[in-house]
Amino acid sequence: MFLAAAGVLYFGFELARGYWRGQMVWQRYAALESRYAELLRQNRDLKIKLTEARSAAFIELNARDKLGLARPGETAYKIVEED
């Protein structure tokens, strides 16, 4: 009788432990799936930015604004504000 009760108790414990482990795996899976979706969104956004950054208009705008460059025949002006 004692062995039967011990066996049932052990089986119940193992069943509960297996269920708990399964829940932990599913929680981890859900977290990883969410992270993966976020990384896909970031990757898409970065690809769009990269495409824009490679465009001639973007390069020209930055050359003018950040480097003060001008096309031949143009005069570049820089406005300096006084403190």
For residue 56, being part of any structural domain is answered with yes
Within the chain, residue ranges assigned H as helices are 2-53, 56-67
> pLDDT, tens digit, for every residue of 46-66?
999 999 999 999 999 998 888
Structural domains counted in the chain: 1
Selection from 69, 47, 48 nearest residue 59 by Cα:
69
For residue 31, being part of any structural domain is answered with yes
For residue 48, being part of any structural domain is answered with yes
For residue 81, being part of any structural domain is answered with no
If you average pLDDT over each of 5-9, 12-16, 21-25, 36-40, which comes out highest? 36-40
For residue 77, being part of any structural domain is answered with no
Can you give the length of the chain in residues?
83
Domain around 53: 2-67
For residue 73, being part of any structural domain is answered with no
pTM higher than 0.85: no
For residue 42, being part of any structural domain is answered with yes
For residue 24, being part of any structural domain is answered with yes
